[in-house]
Structure 1
């Protein structure tokens, strides 16, 4: 191969690399720097963040901005506020904060409604009962999450009720990373823990359905909902979960690779 051929081969290869890089960037937003005034908003509204050391808070901030650069958030008949984005991003980072590297590859966008909605995704008018606070979409809503702003804010206003809708939905996404929302987070649990985890789930679900548990009733619906509900409890009241459900607490510490500070 002569020098001219080598030159054109190198140019062609460079062009291919640039095209590949451009394609990889399509749909991604530029990662913005963390707005300094968000720190006080996080301190005030997100107990998990408040309880972190200053160094870990900086890491949390970086992870939030990375998340916001990868996922679009749109308001449906509402104007997005800064606190909307802050609380959604915090909800995404809290359950995966124990992992140095994590991307929600099964999420591209979040739709924020002003209120609770129904199965037809209606939040006003005379439709059927509106009692859905959040959901992870399927079908034409694949890779989408829909959240109620009212539920989002309530999840952070009350840190004692063991409930947080946005964290609940992000845990469903974590569960779904293996394409199945089945309550078995295979990306988090080592294979050897799967059977003990299922046995523990079924024992705890039986207690819930027999009214012998302080875990929210919805956790007795199925394995996937139990995992999400128990995770809400874990991040909202880790001290109480460790006291009342030590085996479950220990398993969730292994699962999420962290012990939430209290």
Structure 2
């Protein structure tokens, strides 16, 4: 019996599997001097880092840009926009030695706010950022206007892009519920839930300076207070020391 045709078919099958399942090699390009200057001019978190940590931040930004596609819809994005998206991704995970956003492949930038149907030109539009689910799984949509505002001097405690990347961290354990079990030791989860709900009650009673959007649910509370933590850590530590300490341990970062 002539086995040659079967061997050829088997070889062809193996080759096909190789091309289907091979991992795409990432091409990581180091940040240019101009890129670093853009970070210096626009990202306060980066400015506060010392020399070695600045280098680490730059490396993580480069890695993110190599692994994640960033594209605009109805607009042209600049290198600064790409760096701001990458910085938003790196800031929450900067305290972790080895973290990849396995649940993200694309970040899509819209000119401004959009609605649940992803429309940004007509009707009621009040969404500034969204982590995709279902057929949109693996994608994040951000308002370019909100992205840029989050890194402006007038942003205060808010940063929409950081907010959305915190949702991704929260989602990494399988549930977007405000309890990031991949980042938090089990014995701290119940005290964290208790702390969240106590603060949510204070927000409802107008006895807290945390954005009222935090009372929407636990996931939004975690994302909102994380914005506060990264944008104004000194103020958070002063007004909410327990929240600051818990977030500091969760993210592995002492900012003040």
How far residue 69 of structure 1 moved from its aligned partner, in angstroms, is 1.2
Task: State the secondary structure of the residue aligned to 1:151.
Answer: helix
Please name the residue that 1:99 is paired with. 96
Please name the residue that 1:31 is paired with. 28
For residues 173 and 21 of structure 1, the distance between their equivalents in structure 2, rounded to whole angstroms, comes to: 29
Which of 164, 172, 182 aligns to 1:187? It is 182
How far residue 53 of structure 1 moved from its aligned partner, in angstroms, is 0.5
CA contact (8 A) 1:30 1:69 kept: yes
Please name the residue that 2:221 is paired with. 226
**Counterparts in 2 of 1:26-105, with a 5 A limit?**
26=24, 29-105=26-102
**Counterparts in 2 of 1:125-204, with a 5 A limit?**
126-127=122-123, 129-158=124-153, 161-204=156-199
How far residue 122 of structure 1 moved from its aligned partner, in angstroms, is 1.0
Cα shift readout 1:132-176 (whole Å, capped 9, x = no counterpart): 100101111011100000000000003661000000000000000
For residues 154 and 189 of structure 2, the distance between their equivalents in structure 1, rounded to whole angstroms, comes to: 30
For residues 126 and 155 of structure 2, the distance between their equivalents in structure 1, rounded to whole angstroms, comes to: 22
Please name the residue that 1:111 is paired with. 108
Please name the residue that 1:123 is paired with. 120
Q: Normalization by structure 1: what TM-score?
A: 0.89
CA contact (8 A) 1:160 1:237 kept: no
RMSD across aligned positions (CA): 2.0
CA contact (8 A) 2:149 2:155 kept: no
What residue ranges of structure 2 are gaps of 5+ in the alignment?
A: 1-10
How far residue 23 of structure 1 moved from its aligned partner, in angstroms, is 2.9
Which of 205, 208, 211 aligns to 1:216? It is 211
How far residue 24 of structure 1 moved from its aligned partner, in angstroms, is 4.0
Q: Normalization by structure 2: what TM-score?
A: 0.91
For residues 228 and 215 of structure 2, the distance between their equivalents in structure 1, rounded to whole angstroms, comes to: 14
CA contact (8 A) 1:72 1:108 kept: yes
CA contact (8 A) 1:183 1:227 kept: yes
Cα shift readout 1:104-154 (whole Å, capped 9, x = no counterpart): 001110110011111111111x32x11110010111101110000000000
Change (3 A) 1:65 1:198: same
Change (3 A) 1:24 1:63: farther
Task: State the secondary structure of the residue aligned to 2:109.
Answer: strand
Please name the residue that 2:4 is paired with. none
Cα shift readout 1:155-204 (whole Å, capped 9, x = no counterpart): 00036610000000000000000111000000100001001100000001
How far residue 29 of structure 1 moved from its aligned partner, in angstroms, is 4.1
For residues 235 and 155 of structure 2, the distance between their equivalents in structure 1, rounded to whole angstroms, comes to: 10
The alignment covers a number of residue pairs equal to 245
Task: State the secondary structure of the residue aligned to 1:37.
Answer: helix
